[in-house]
Chains A and B, each alone.
Chain A
Amino acid sequence: MKTRITKTLLDSWAYTFDCYEGGEEDAMNDFLKTLNREPIEENEAIANGKAFENLVWDIAQGHEVPPGKWNEGARKVAEIVKGGQWQVHVDTDLQIGDRTFWLHGFCDVVKAGVIYDIKFKAKSFGSLDLYGSYRGHSQHSAYLRCLPEAYEFVYLVSDGEDLYTEAYNRHTCRPIEEIISDFMNWLESKPELLKIYEEKWVCDG
């Protein structure tokens, strides 16, 4: 049996251990929704993220955009990603122990050996400590594994004005096999959740 695995599932699981104090129940509920493949309700953060990404896309394509409060930040991101390909599907099969996984996802932009992921933060950078905040995410490990021709993964983080970048390569990211192994070990200690995973995430065919 081959099962699907995505960065969304792995990150929602990891967040149950790394969420803010008092947010454990919400984090577990979100993970269970993801595990059950329930659609994620669009909230303000998701809508803002999409709107910002669309703005970057428009600017990168050379389209005229009306004046807006995020234009400066979007221009800084567009300058980096213009000429790249957007929403590139990447995937690979992984054999970990006696299980086979289909690891897949969509890269925001791929350009000249670099995978870019665009993030939007509604809070101003002055109130955040961003550096290092993506180190524990599985996305860079997963996508660099799926696209061996890429040598770097860069998070492009904007608050609509400033740009913060955080880059990872194969030397500085945790192997995705380790992350998946940790996840499966945890899941195997919870048979009722393992059953859901094996039912809902089984690959067709």
Chain B
Amino acid sequence: MIQHGYELDFSKQTFGVILYGAPGIGKTTLALSDGNNGGDTLLIDLEHGIGRTNPVHRMNANVLSASTYEEVLNDLNTPEAFAAKTIVIDTAGSLVDYLKDWAMRTKSDAKTKTGAFNGLKGFGYVKSELESFVNRIKTVMNKNVIFIFHCDEKADKDGNPIQRLRCEGSFRNTVWTGIDFGAYIQMLGNKRYACFTPEDEFFAKGCHGIEGHVEIPNLKNDVPNDFLAKLFDTARKNMQAENDGVAEQMQIYRGAVEAAKDMVEGVTDADTANACMKALLSLNHALTSKKEASKMLNDKCKTLGLAFSKAEGAYVAGDAK
């Protein structure tokens, strides 16, 4: 099905999220907060940490426990996994450890002669399997995916604390590309916050109006654990509003760029270049179309040996200087 940009409906949009922070800050409980119906969330509990959450706040989740990566894959083929809206990977660092174990058992060159993990070859296998695993959850299964990371406090060159994701290999970098939100969870005073805007101490990512410090409610047994459900709803509404606002601009942008290409194609000398310059200015522009159209014309003029003379305000043959 092909839809125009202005027809898009984001009411069922899924998201990728990174949650990271100190031990005990409540990352797992927060990750379970998208869904009030039984089975809405599937927690892939690679660190066997589900027992540390409040039973009231984990009752609606299904928990996948596995001792090998193959078991995780098998369990992702179950009806429970397909029924879930959200899949939580707790933790992404442990998933990399499971994949290292998988690579050592199944790929002969992922192990050194002494039986240790061969980082050079092994991380290649880990990376490609991890890409396919994440793509399957996000794209094929179309789930929200939440990556929980522990964090390590390090010091910058001036000794100030900086928070880094605890995860071996390149995934701690590449994971940021495919996600929508990345929050550092921290206590400020006696309140907990999910921080979506980067600061000197930590990196973060926000979009669709989700930014800055968002307070996480203090959960009591009668308070629903629905932080992410509400956040996703807000983001979906904002996306719809952004799309409705931008759709018209994008249409104008595309029209202007296409028209500019045709006009620039017809430029053959200084006279046609100057006529084209005027015509480009008269187009209905949006976003960066005016700048892009002007660059197209300038590039074409260069190929024709024309240069823009500031003094004449026009393209002239040869070196304008």
User: Are B174 and A162 interface neighbours, CB within 8 A?
Assistant: yes
Main secondary structure of the interface of B (DSSP, over half): mixed
Binds B, one of A32-40, A45-53, A123-131, A175-183: A123-131
A85 on the B face (CB < 8 A): yes
Decide: A135 near B291, CB < 8 A? Known: A128-B173, A164-B173.
no
Contact with B along A147-166 (1 / 0, CB 8 A): 10111000000010011111
B18-52 at interface with A (beta carbon < 8 Å): none
B80 on the A face (CB < 8 A): no
Residues from chain A with Cβ under 8 Å of B176 in the complex? 131, 164-166
Residues from chain A with Cβ under 8 Å of B198 in the complex? 132, 135, 172
Beyond A129-B173, A131-B203, A150-B288, 9 additional pairs, beta carbon < 8 A: A88-B292, A110-B288, A110-B291, A113-B287, A126-B169, A126-B170, A163-B177, A164-B173, A172-B198
Which of A111, A129, A151, A172 lies in contact with B292, CB distance below 8 A?
A: A111
B295 on the A face (CB < 8 A): yes
Residues from chain B with Cβ under 8 Å of A18 in the complex? 157
User: Are A112 and B250 interface neighbours, CB within 8 A?
Assistant: yes
User: Are A125 and B250 interface neighbours, CB within 8 A?
Assistant: no
Contact with B along A47-79 (1 / 0, CB 8 A): 000000000000000000000000000000000
A167-190 at interface with B (beta carbon < 8 Å): 167, 171-172
CA distance A200 to B287 in the complex (A): 35
Residues from chain B with Cβ under 8 Å of A151 in the complex? 287
A84 on the B face (CB < 8 A): yes
CA distance A159 to B119 in the complex (A): 17
CA distance A131 to B250 in the complex (A): 30
User: Are A129 and B172 interface neighbours, CB within 8 A?
Assistant: yes
CA distance A135 to B290 in the complex (A): 28
User: Are A130 and B173 interface neighbours, CB within 8 A?
Assistant: yes
Interface centre among B164, B168, B198, B296 (most CB of A within 10 A): B198
Contact with A along B174-217 (1 / 0, CB 8 A): 10110000000000000000000110001101100001000000
CA distance A130 to B175 in the complex (A): 11
Of chain B, the residue at the smallest CB distance from A114 is B288
A115-129 at interface with B (beta carbon < 8 Å): 124-126, 128-129
Residues from chain B with Cβ under 8 Å of A110 in the complex? 288, 291-292, 295
A21 on the B face (CB < 8 A): yes
Contact residues of B with A, CB < 8 Å? Answer: 119, 123, 127, 157, 164-165, 168-170, 172-174, 176-177, 197-198, 202-203, 205-206, 211, 249-250, 253, 287-288, 290-292, 295-296
User: Are A163 and B288 interface neighbours, CB within 8 A?
Assistant: no
Q: For the side of the interface on A, what is the size category?
A: 35 or more
CA distance A130 to B123 in the complex (A): 18
CA distance A90 to B292 in the complex (A): 11
CA distance A128 to B167 in the complex (A): 11
Residues from chain B with Cβ under 8 Å of A125 in the complex? 170, 173-174
Residues from chain A with Cβ under 8 Å of B172 in the complex? 129, 131
User: Are A113 and B170 interface neighbours, CB within 8 A?
Assistant: no
Residues from chain A with Cβ under 8 Å of B291 in the complex? 85, 88, 90, 110, 147, 149
Residues from chain A with Cβ under 8 Å of B174 in the complex? 125, 162-164
Of chain B, the residue at the smallest CB distance from A113 is B287
Residues from chain B with Cβ under 8 Å of A88 in the complex? 291-292, 295
Which of A112, A124, A128, A147 lies in contact with B253, CB distance below 8 A?
A: A112
26 pairs across A/B with beta carbons < 8 Å? A20-B157, A85-B292, A88-B291, A88-B292, A88-B295, A110-B292, A110-B295, A112-B250, A113-B253, A124-B170, A125-B170, A125-B173, A126-B169, A131-B172, A131-B176, A131-B203, A132-B198, A132-B202, A135-B198, A135-B203, A150-B288, A162-B170, A163-B174, A165-B177, A172-B197, A172-B206
